[in-house]
Structures are given as structure tokens and as C-alpha cells.
Structure 1
Amino acid sequence: MLNRWHSLPRDARDTLFLLVVIGWVILPHLANLPVWCSALAVVVLLWRGVLALGSRPLPAPRWVLGTLLVAVGATLFTHRTLLGRDAGVTLIVVLLALKTLELRARRDTFVVFFLGFFTMLTNFFFSQSLPIAAGMLVGLLGLLTAVVLAHMPVGKPPLLEAARTAGWMTLLGAPVMAALFVLFPRLGPLWGAPSDAMSGRSGLSSSMQVGNLARLALDETVAMRVKFDGPPPPQSEMYFRGPVLSVFDGREWRPLQARSTTSYLPAALAQLRVGGTPRHYQVTLEPSNRPWLLTLDGTAQPPRAPGLQSFMTGELDWVSVRPLTDLLRYEADSYPLFQHGPTSEAGVLPEYTQLPEGYNPRTLELAGRMTRDPALVRGGNEALVRAALERLRTGGYTYTLDPGTYGPNSADEFWFDRKEGFCEHIASAFVVLMRALTIPARVVTGYQGGERNPVDGYWTVRQSDAHAWAEVWLEGRGWVRVDPTAMVAPGRVGSFQRLQPQRGVLGSALVTLSPGMVASLRNAWEAVNNSWNQWVLNYTQSKQLDLLRQLGFESPSWEDLSYVLIALLVSGALLGAGWAYWERRQHDPWLRLLQRVRQRLAQAGLALPTEAPPRLMAQRVRERFGEAGAPLAEWLLQLEAQRYARTPPQTLRQLERSYHRLAWPGAR
């Protein structure tokens, strides 16, 4: 294979290498591009590779232009526009692939380079994860290697030599890139985040459809990371509150009012009362394209982050005024002792007891029997709640991710037929029963628990930790959290064993052979990824200004950032110029003068080896030019004497001056 590679013509070898690099740059886009665009790019790159291997002629320009017009039409048909992120990336990939069919001149090669660099950059429109960044660094080195090869027109330089030069270029540019990253003023988010599609996977949504999904897939991706200042709360108390769902139409739970800043319930209706010492924590929330700010229950003050605008709804959840399309790090304080909601029934909205007509008749009948039980009636609403929880604990109910599809009477099926489901089935059936008992109740969704990473001390909360629980209103206490899933599966809440996603053959074998090693590798990777999030993706303007404060600025601004950046770049440029001057002075001036003579003789038609001493050069000059070369030959002998004679007849500066006055043989 290596022999075949080395035997290829220079043009074919460089073209194949460039095609491989382009394929690597486009590869992460395949999941985001339309199928036709991905297929077109793959076919064109393979076709261009076959043409290069066979040294065949490139297609006529009309075929490339025709394909481009068809691709533009397909882009317009697919995206309904030629503007925007998705349509723009599609067109860029098409242009890059088709441009490889026009590699006829050096100018075409540079156009491909520029398109390749731009396409590499567009990968970050869709993901800014550490693997993508590492992959694009490899792509950067590949493109720089191709650029170096393009500037080596003579011979057949090895790829390793070009790659080494590209690596040195990257290392030399790294300090400038680091300075720009640290100090270039950040005026707003650069990257966008794609909208998510969580259907059929664990995670949060603006509504909850009960029974439509036959199976729930556990999504192990990270939803957020939490760092506590001081001892964390027990895992069983880590309820990160998300959207509250209070309206039920028989199949779907929705928020009480539309999610907008004008139609939210006033925060005063939450009537949050807190006590005790607040617990401070930091949340690094992954992009979700949703507005919810996940906080622990009992968070009275708004989460704090630069530029973050948020408010509390009447149902105690914190919401940003804009969807969260970028990684967000915010601080919050929660109180371990809290109550919320009205303490008298007069302040409770009637929507919290409403049920749709014609649904779940057996659950309504069960509620009727419970309200006719004298013991339960004497105990009041708290006794009814305890009775429902006891039924869940002792009635043979199970927690599963594969309950099958439920019908329209989902609560009836859960309470009397299937007796199994995941947290949304259990919470929904419990709230339906509570409302049938005329007890105000609602469904709360969010995340429960998490896993502490021993490497960096952060608590990792995954999409698989998404959870649904209930809140019931009790006289004199307000809204009280009730987690009916804890009655069915205590391991789902707290530090006990949870349901695990299905693993492949390799994953199962690794876990079986060395579960500790798998856990350690996972923790180490997530700690590295968290550091990437904290120090790179979440490096905001506030962190830049904090850096300036540490440097002595009392009230830093983005103008100060600009001044520091300019000063640093100018200092770097001066330092580089000084180093270049110093390095030049370190070379032997005698050898530099001899090299100048050797180059001048080569121009006159006398090529001499680089190791030839002045005496041999003088001899060759006499042989080639005769008497015309006698002054130069004599000068060369004096140059030799200046270096090796005990008492040099002339100084090097004198020889330099006489060098310029020499009559060179062969000159006209």
C-alpha cells in the first residue's frame, strides 16, 4: 500500500490527501445535512478520488454548474429558504464538494482551502463539544498540511515533512490564539444551538402525554452539572424543579397558562416562605432550547448569571425570558425549610381539581369508595393521600421503562389493569386520583438526584434523571411535594440502584469484567468535558472582567479589554522582532559573507558546493574566469586569512566594504 502511495504522481497524491481531509471536515455534518446533500458530497469526493488515481480528465464545467443549480433547488425545496444556518451549511458543503471537481490550477486549490476552513468552522454551529473540537483540530492540521504542500511546488516532498511544518505553524500561532480567546471582547453569544427532539427519550418537555409511548429510552447525556458550596443535600432531596403541569385533557398534561412573559401567573401567587440557612450552589446547564432554569425547590431569589433575565412563575418554577441556546452557568441559593402556596382553600385555583369528563370512570369510583370510608374521612385529606400512597406501596405496582401503550383511560389502566409504568404514568394516575378526591393536585417535572463525580466534585445530572412527581395542597401547609414513584420503586429516588439503559455487547462485557474501571473512565472523561465547559464554552465577558480586576483594574470594561489585547499583541510583535534580530546576529557573519559570494558565483555560472572553503573557491574562480577572476580570487584568500591567520591583514568590516567594490567576472 505504501509503495502504491509513493508511486503515485505528485498531483494525484496531493489531491487524494486533500480529499481525505475534506471528508474528515464534512463527516460531523452528515447527521445535520439533508440525506441528498450527504449522498452528493460522498459521491463527488469518491468520484474525484477515482479521477485522481486514474489521471483522468475532470468533468466539463457545464456538468459542475448543472449539478450546482440542481443542488441549490434542492436546498430551497428542503429548507424553504437559502438563508439561515441549515440552508447556509448545506450550500457550503455542496460548494466545497463540487469545487474539488475544478482543481485545475493553484488558484482553485486555495479556494478549496478557504472553503474547507469555513466548513470546519460551521461544525461549531451544531455542537461545541470537546470531541468535535478535537476532531476539528485534526482537520485544521490536515488543511494546513495541504496548504504547505501547495507551497512546495518542486519535487515530491513527503507528507510527514509538510505535517511537521504545519504542526510548527500551529504551535507558533497558539499563543496568539490563546491571547485572542482570553482577551477579545465578548459582546454576545457566537454559536447557536439546534432545537432538540426528545420524543421517546428521557428528558423535559413543555407537556406530558400519558401512555402514547410504549417504551422510554434512557438518555445518558448530561443535562446539567451542579457544584455545591459546602455539604450537598441528600440525594433524596435533590429535586430540581422544571415545568409544572396543571391542565389535563385526558391524555396530555400542560401548563396552567401559555408559556410567555405576559401570560404567566404573577410570582406573588407562589407565596414562597423560606427559613434556615440558604444553600449556595452553581449550575452549568446544557443548551436545551427551552426557557427553564432548573433550581432546587426553595430558591427564593433569581438565579444569577451575567445578562440573565428570569422570573418566578406562580407555580414556583424559574424561567428565562429567552430560550437557552447556549451553555449557561448560573448561581442560586435554596432554603432547606420552605413552604409555598396559599394556606387556606380560598386561595387555591379551581383548575387544580378539574378533570375531563368521560375519562377514568373506575378511578372516580375508587375515589368515591375512599371518601365513604369513615376512617379516611376522619383523617382528612392527609389520610386520603397516605391511603393512596399505601395502595401504591402494597398493591403490586412496578416501575418499568417498557409498559406498552396505554389507552385513553390511562389512570384506570394503571390502577387496575397494568399496574406498571414509568414515573409519568405513576404521577399522572396519582394526581388524577387526588383530583377525583377533590384534593388540589398537579404534576411537577424536573430532575431528581444525580451522581457525584469524585474527580472534580461536580454532581452530574443526566437526562435519565428526568422525573415527574406530584404536589398536593393541604390545609395550613400549602403545596406539599409527594413522590408516588418512591412508593413503587424506592430505588428511583435517592442513592439506591436505578434502572439502567440497555448496553451493547461490548459495553456489557466491559461492565461485567471491570465495572470499577468503566466507572473511573467515565468519571475522568466527564471531568475533562466539564472543564471544557467551564473554562472554554462558559468563558464569558464577566470572567474576562474578573481577570482584569486581578490584574489591577478597578472598574474594567470591554474597552480596557481591547487596550490590554492591543498592548499584548504589540508586545508580542516586538518580542518576535527582537528574537528574529537576535537570532540573525547569532549566525557567523564570516559564513554569511562567504555564502553571499557563493550565491553570486552561482549567478555568474559557477556553482560550488556549500562545503567548499575560500581557497578552493579561489582556485575554481581562476580556472573558470582566468585573469578576470584574479581580484575575486585574491579577495577570497584574504577572507580565508581573516579567519585563520594569526595576524589577519584586514578586518571583516574592511572585507565587506571591498566586497561591494569587486569587479565580478561575467558581469556586464
Structure 2
Amino acid sequence: MLNAAPHDAAPGARWLPRLQQLPRETRDTLFLLALVGWIVLPQVPYLPAWCSGLVAVVLLWRGTLALTGRPLPHRAWLIGLLIAATAATRVTHGALLGQDAGVTLVVCLLALKTLELRARRDALVIFFLGFFTLLTGFFHSQSLATAAVMLVGVWGLLTALINAHRPVGQPPLRDSAALALRMALAGAPVMIALFVFFPRFAPLWGVPSGDPRGRSGLSSTMEVGKVAALALDDGVALRVRFDGAPPPQRELYFRGPVLSHFDGREWTARGGGDGFDVALGPPPRDLQVRGAPIDYELTLEPSAGPWLLTLDAAPQAPALPPGWRARQTPDLQWLANRPVTALLRYRAQSWPEFSYGQTGWDGRLPRQLGAELQLPAGYNPRTLALARELRAAAPEGGPQAIVQAALQRLRSGGYSYTLEPGVSGRDSADEFWFDTKAGFCEHIASAFVVLLRAAGVPARIVTGFQGGEMNGLDGYWTVRNADAHAWTEVWLAGRGWVRVDPTGAVMPGRIGQTQRLRPPPGLVAGAIDTFNPDLLRQLRAGWEAVNNRWNQWVLNYTQGRQLDLLRGLGFEQPSWEDLGKVLAGLLTAAALVGAAWARWERTQHDPWLRLLQAARRRMRAAGIAAADSAPPRELARLAAQHSPWPAALRAPLARWLLALERQRYGGSGSPAAPSLATLRREFRQLRWPRPS
């Protein structure tokens, strides 16, 4: 029975000695179970609830069996649980193949394998299943925080793997963890070489698309009135670095999907709602830009959509990495040739002052604007009546006067900007203009466009992002999902398409810096903000600067950057063959250096051998004929039989030599061997006679 710790001992002082006194098998099993829990923990938000519960129950069950010494369950239990997990996966995901179903099955197999952990072979299966499960964590996130969690998991798996191959006895986990860390650091140069020079391929998996619930962010459609409350997502949507002075924040409009078709509830793009089948047509030929251009580099987070966000307006295609192509729609929207499922960095050039859509129309409505005047029949009768009133009140001013009258109504009519407008009915525009008089940017833009179309003014909705904030640590502008915005464009004779942001009429601070909306902080962040508001902002800016560096130099290390590196190394026209040659040369050199170092370390700098050789030298200096090849047991025999020495000197030396032997070759029946550090200290404390 374990000795009870004193009542006044700290919790760690109570359980740590008990853990150290557990049998080797029990201790190693508990460590492995804790490691499996750490590996599965980042997957919990993406796993079905039944899978997370099964893993928790299985790990607790296996830990109880290890502590109590009871036998493992019968194989029938494992077969039954495996069949149940497979059936549940099929029901939950609708298939057994695919990313989500595959990850669920792998996690279940990893947990169930612990119930038949009987031999080293079973432990090896768990180790390699653990490595594979760690890899699947990058399906959902490739952030710096995820990488840190994965590194801890890899370190733990290497520690368990080394511990499983150590001699029987009870080697400290601390020593195994230190050896695993040294091995990982020794392999780091090879890992870096592979990362830098191994040819870059397209991603093997995609990042899941956005959450369909009511959260801020970019979407290919806009459904008005079905979201009772909007939850602001503070995640990063894109980062921008301007070559020169950045434009004012109120002019930062990053153009995304342009929505022209309205069926009474939902707005979609012309020709399709997913961004892939948009009726492209030719780019606008009458785009005219004025003033100085803005050059910038934009890093776009994964969106699972084809949208290439740029500032208004970008006449030339963004400079994309190899394999990517850009195309422009007639409404100035840039699209990629495939969905953005990983970080994408590109350069673009935009002009804040521009005009398009007016050449050759002589003040008359062209046929192409029929979609921008379309309204479904039978919807929003009160808004239609208001439009007739506005049109009748502005016979001379025309469309421009109608637009100004609608904006003035928003400014002075008691309308407000809110994230909790409630669910609206069938006639969402009527409810906004006459009943609730409240909504967020989607409600305001939708009601504004419906009113203008009813008054005979062509109008449409443009979605994207507005604003952002500059990180003073790295100079990047950060645009978040909470900065997602919807504004409008109206067509005016002689001017073409003109941006009109009705949200600015309701809440001017939304377009700028004064009243940027942000989600409420969590418990810890709220406490820090209450104690020191500047500290929270500094911590956030520091973390985002570090994470941005991770994105720029690790996740966004593309083929182009590889070839640029080869050019810097002297290759005039680098290719994949050159990458292979450089990589092969580096790996060969690393292998030769590693082999030479291992041989040298083993023969000359093994700390155990150095300690044994020091004992031989001291014994020979004291008069004992110790051969260079004599093992510790032979030296202990010579020391015990060396009669010129007194027994008080011979016995401690013999015991020390036998302990040195156990430290290297300890068997199952041997007592626990001291560490090398302890043996070195005892060696220095040994008493030696003077040479005769």
C-alpha cells in the first residue's frame, strides 16, 4: 500500500510520489492515455458528440483498469464497440469515406485500441495512429496555436515511443522526454530543409466553408429577415500591407460578391449564387480611373469561395501565385479559377477614384440594367407606395434627387443600426421602413435598393468588407469578419454606377473609426480590459503580428517563393529539377554528418563510457590492474579482492561499479538504478588510497 501524504502537503506533493511508485506498466499506460486525450482534444469541436463521449468513456475505463490491475475486456466488447462506432459514423456523416467520416473513424480506432494494449506491438500501433490523428488536426486549422498544440503532441508521442523501447525497470519519464526533445532538435535541420526545398504542391484538402448560422462574414447570398441576431465573428478575414501611405479608413471598401437578383427574401448574384457560375460577360470597357493608384499586398484567409477581394477599383488582374488565374465580371468583381481553401497572397493595384457604366448610353437606361430594376410581384406594397411618393416629389431632380431623399429619410426618420433586429416577415422592406426602423447593414442596404428600384432607379447590393485596423507592430492592416459590410450602387445618367452606402446615413460611425462594432470579450479578456484596456490591445496586436508572420513565411510559402530562393542561390532559371538536386545534396550531407557524429559520439563521447573509463583510470592509479576492456562487474570483483586496500574503501567502490552496470544493463529483477548524474556525484565522493 502507498504511504499516505501529510494532510498539509500540497496537492502535487500528494499525487506525485504515488505516481512515481506505481508499477512501470501502470505508469506508462496512464501517460499514454493522457497523451491520447491531448491528441483528441483539439478535434472535439469538429467531432460528433457521441464520438467525443465514446473516447472519454473508453479512456476513463482503460485508466480504471490500469489503476486497479483488472484484466482487459474480452474481444467481444471491442468488436461490438467497433461495429457501433462504424454504424454511428455512417448515420452521422452519411458515408464511411470522406474527410469528416474518416477523422471520426480514426479517432474511434485510436481510443478503442487502448482497450487491447497488452504488448509493445499494440503500443506501436497507438503511437502511429496518434501521429496520424495529429495530422488530421490541420484539416480544420493551420494556425500557429494549432501548430503549437501539435508540437506538444509530437513530443509526447516521441517520449512514449522512446520509453517503450527502454530497458525494463522504471526509467523516469523526464529522461525519456529530454531524449525525445534532443532527437527532435537533431532532426530539425532535416525538417527545415524538406520544408524549404521540397517541391510545393497544391493543398491535399480544403478548409470547410463558413458556418451557415447567423454570423458575420462574406457569403455568396444574402437572405434578409431570417436572422434574429447577428453574432460578430472576430476572426481575421484578410490582411493588407500598403506600399505607401494607406488611404483613409472610410475609403477601404474591399469588393466581394455583387448581388442583383431578388426573389423577395434572398439576394443572389446575376446568373448564380455560389460565385462559380456567375454570368461573366466581358469586363467593363468604359472603366475610367483617375488620380494616384494604391499598390498593396493582400493575404486572404480561406473562404471556400472564388472571390478575390480588392479595393475599388482594380482594372488589372491581381498578381496571383503560379497555377491561379483571375477573371473579372462586368460589375468589377474579381474571381479566381478555383475556391480559396488555403491562405492566398497576391498583389493588386486599385484607384479610389473611378467611373464606369455610362459610356454610349446618352442618359437612357440600357437594356443591361433590366436586372437592376427587377422586383418580385406582390412584395412590400408600402415600400412601393413610398417610392411613388418620392418619385412624384422629385420630377426635376430625377434619380439623383430620389437617392438624396431616401438618404435624408434614413438620417432623420428615427432609424437605427442594431445587431438584434429580430426575424422579419414576408415584406422585409416594409417592416424596416415603417415598423422596426432598425437593422444591420444587410437590412438597410436591401430596403434601400428595393425602394430605389420601385422608384425607377437601377440599384444593386455590393458585399465585402469595409474598414479595418492597423497593427502598429508589423504595419499590416487587419480586416476581420466583423468588418463584413453591404453597401449599394446606383446607376445615374452621365455618371454610371455610383457607390452609395445607406448605413452611413443611419450610423455614420460605422464607416470609419469612431464606432467600429466588436464582439463582447470573454471572461478573461473582459477582466484584463477592465484592469488595463491598453494591455489587452497590446497583447492582441502582438499575437496577431506573430500569427501573421507564421502565415506569411510558413503557410504561404509557395512555389514562387521557392524559385525566388533558388534565384538568390545563383540559379538563373530555377525549376523543380533544381529543387530536387539541392534537396538531395542537403539530405546526403545531413546523412553523412549524422552518421559520423553518431559514430564519434558512441565511441568517444558516450557519457556512460566516459564515466567507466574514469573509474578504470582511478583504479589503475591506485594500483589495481584494470584492463581497458574490463566491464563494471569485473572491475567490482577486482576491487573487492584487492587486499592491500581496507574493506572500508573496497566495498563502496564495488557497490558503485555494480550500480553503474545496472544503470546501463539493468534487468527486471534488479533494483532501480540511479541516474548518471547521481553516479557522477557518488564517483566524486568515493575515497581512494594513495598510490603505493
Q: TM-score, normalised by structure 1?
A: 0.88
User: Quick one: which of 103, 110, 132 aligns to 1:96?
Assistant: 110
Displacement, 1:576? 3.0
Matched, 1:367 2:381: no
What amino acid does structure 2 have at the position aligned with 1:573?
A: A
SS of the residue 1:160 aligns to: helix
**Aligned amino acid, residue 511 of structure 1:** D
Alpha-carbon distance change, 602 to 417 in structure 1, aligned in 2, over 3 angstroms: closer
Contact 2:216–2:230 (CA<8 Å) still a contact in 1? yes
Residues 586, 261 of structure 1: CA spacing in aligned structure 2 closer, same or farther, 3 A cutoff? closer
Matched, 1:352 2:379: no
Cα drift, residue 337 of structure 1 = 2.4
* Residues 1:554 and 1:470: Cα distance change in structure 2 (over 3 Å): same
Aligned to 1:560: 578
Corresponding position: 1:533 with 2:551: yes
- The CA deviation at 1:585 is 7.6
Paired residues of 1:270 and 1:315 also in contact (CA < 8 A): no
Show the counterpart of 1:285.
Answer: 300
Contact 1:16 1:52 in 2 (8 A): yes
After TM superposition, give the deviation of residue 212 of structure 1 in Å: 1.1
Tell me the residue number matched to 1:318: 334
Count of aligned residue pairs for this structure pair:
615
User: Which letter maps to 1:286?
Assistant: E
* Residues 477-519 of structure 1 deviation map (CA, whole Å, 9 limit, x = unaligned): 1100000000110110012222232334443332222111111
Map of 2:9 onto structure 1 = none
Q: C-alpha separation between the residues in 2 aligned to 1:144 and 1:617?
A: 49
Aligned to 2:64, which of 45, 50, 58? 50
Change (3 A) 1:241 1:270: farther
Quote the Cα distance in structure 1 between the aligned partners of 2:130 and 2:395. Answer: 74
Change (3 A) 1:584 1:407: closer
How big is the shift at 1:38? 1.4
SS of residue in 2 equivalent to 1:332: strand
Report the CA distance shift for 1:105/1:180 in structure 2 as closer, same or farther (over 3 A).
same
Given the superposition, is the C-alpha separation of residues 270 and 132 from structure 1 closer, same or farther in structure 2, using an over 3 Å criterion? Answer: farther
Tell me the distance in 2 between the aligned counterparts of 1:517 and 1:215: 30
The residue aligned with 1:32 is 46
Query: Equivalent residues in 2 for 1:499-510 (5 A)?
Result: 499-510=517-528
Tell me if the contact between 1:191 and 1:326 (Cα under 8 Å) persists in the aligned partners.
no
How many Å apart are 1:198 and its aligned residue?
3.9
Deviation for aligned residue 1:601? 5.1
In 2: Cα distance, 1:122 partner to 1:584 partner: 37
Q: Name the aligned partner's letter for residue 255 of structure 1.
A: A
Q: Could you tell me which residue of structure 2 aligns to residue 23 of structure 1?
A: 37
- The alignment status of 1:209 with 2:236, answered yes or no, reads no
Any residues of structure 2 matched to 1:187-202 within 5 Å, and which?
A: 187-202=201-216
**In 2, distance between residues paired with 1:17 and 1:505?**
32
User: Partner of 1:432 in structure 2?
Assistant: 450
Deviation at 1:275, TM superposition (A): 3.2
Q: Which of 487, 497, 501 lines up with 1:483 in the alignment?
A: 501
SS at match of 1:518: helix
2:653 maps to what in 1? none
In 2: Cα distance, 1:393 partner to 1:359 partner? 25
Match of 1:295 in 2: 310
What displacement does 1:311 show? 0.7
**Within 2, Cα distance between the matches of 1:481 and 1:526?**
32
The 2-side partners of 1:436 and 1:52 are apart by 74
DSSP-derived class of the 1:378 partner: coil
What does residue 408 of structure 2 align with? 390
Matched, 1:333 2:349: yes
Other structure's SS at 1:114 match? helix
Taking the aligned partners of 2:638 and 2:350, their CA distance within structure 1 comes to 78
Work out the CA distance in 1 between the residues paired with 2:604 and 2:165: 28
**Alignment gaps of 5+ in structure 2:** 1-14, 618-624, 647-692
Q: Give the 5 Å matches for 1:429-468.
A: 429-468=447-486
**1:238 deviation in Å?**
0.5
CA contact under 8 A between 2:626 and 2:635: conserved in structure 1? no
C-alpha RMSD of matched pairs (Å): 2.5
Q: 1:412 aligns with which of 412, 430, 448?
A: 430
By how many angstroms is 1:586 displaced? 5.7
52-61 vs 27-36, greater mean Cα deviation: 27-36
How has the CA–CA distance of structure 1 residues 600 and 576 changed in structure 2, closer, same or farther, with 3 Å as cutoff? closer
**Inter-partner Cα distance in structure 2 for 1:69 and 1:41:** 15
Q: 1:319 to 1:102 in 2, by over 3 A?
A: same
User: Structure 2 CA distance, aligned partners of 1:182 and 1:611?
Assistant: 57
**How far did 1:169 drift?**
1.0
Q: Does 1:495 align with 2:513?
A: yes
Worse overlay, 423-432 or 27-36: 27-36
Deviation, structure 1 residue 130:
1.1
Match of 1:607 among 613, 634, 643: 634
The one-letter code of the counterpart of 1:291 is P
Residues 362-396 of structure 1 deviation map (CA, whole Å, 9 limit, x = unaligned)? 111111112222xx221221111111111111111
Aligned residue identity for 2:450: V
- Selected match of 1:161 from 170, 175, 181: 175
Query: One-letter code of the match for 1:293?
Result: L
Aligned equivalents of 2:27, 2:206: Cα separation in 1: 38
Show CA shifts across 1:52-107 (max 9, x none).
00011001122212211222222222222222211111111111111111111111
- The residue that corresponds to 1:658 in the other structure is none
How big is each residue's C-alpha offset from its partner over 1:263-291, in whole Å with a ceiling of 9 and x where there is no partner?
52313347422233321111111111111
Which residue is 1:275 aligned to?
Answer: 290
Q: Secondary structure at the match of 2:396?
A: helix
Q: Which runs of 5+ in 1 are unaligned?
A: 621-668
Q: Is the 8 A contact 1:608 1:617 kept in 2?
A: no
With normalisation by structure 2, the TM-score equals: 0.85
Alpha-carbon distance in 2 for matches of 1:274, 1:618: 103
Quote the Cα distance in structure 2 between the aligned partners of 1:347 and 1:231: 41
Deviation by residue 1:444-488 (Cα, 9 ceiling, x = unmatched): 110000010001111000000000000000001110000000011
Q: Is the 8 A contact 1:311 1:318 kept in 2?
A: yes
Q: SS of 2:498's equivalent? A: strand
Whole-Å Cα distance in 1 between the matches of residues 314 and 443 of structure 2?
Answer: 28
- Measured after TM superposition, the shift of residue 583 of structure 1 is 5.1
Please, which of 142, 160, 173 is the counterpart of residue 187 of structure 2?
Answer: 173
Distance 1:109 1:610, change over 3 A: farther
CA contact under 8 A between 2:283 and 2:332: conserved in structure 1? no
Instruction: Give the deviation of 1:348 after TM superposition.
Output: 3.8
2:224 and 2:507 map into 1 onto residues whose CA distance is: 19
Compute the displacement of 1:49 (Å).
0.4
- Once the two structures are superposed, the pairs formed by residues 2-17 of structure 1 within 5 Å of their partners are 2-17=16-31
Aligned-partner Cα distance in 2 for 1:115–1:569: 27
Match of 1:626 in 2: none
The Cα shift of 1:441 comes to 0.2
Question: 1-side partners of 2:297 and 2:644: how far apart?
Answer: 79
Residue matched to 2:563: 545
Range with bigger deviation, 397-406 or 592-601: 592-601
**Is the 2:325–2:336 contact (alpha carbons within 8 Å) kept by the matching residues of 1?**
yes
Query: Structure 2: how far apart are the matches of 1:326 and 1:105?
Result: 41
SS of 1:118's equivalent in the other structure is helix
CA contact (8 A) 1:204 1:445 kept: yes
Counterpart residue number, 2:5: none
Using the TM superposition, give the Cα deviation of residue 566 of structure 1 relative to its aligned residue in structure 2, in angstroms: 0.9
For the residue of structure 1 that corresponds to 2:283, the secondary structure is: helix
For the Cα contact (< 8 Å) 1:267–1:316, is it kept in 2? no
**Segment drifting more, 144-153 vs 522-531:** 144-153
Task: Provide the residue aligned with 1:111 in structure 2.
Answer: 125
- 1:469 is paired with a residue whose SS is strand
Deviation at 1:153, TM superposition (A): 2.9
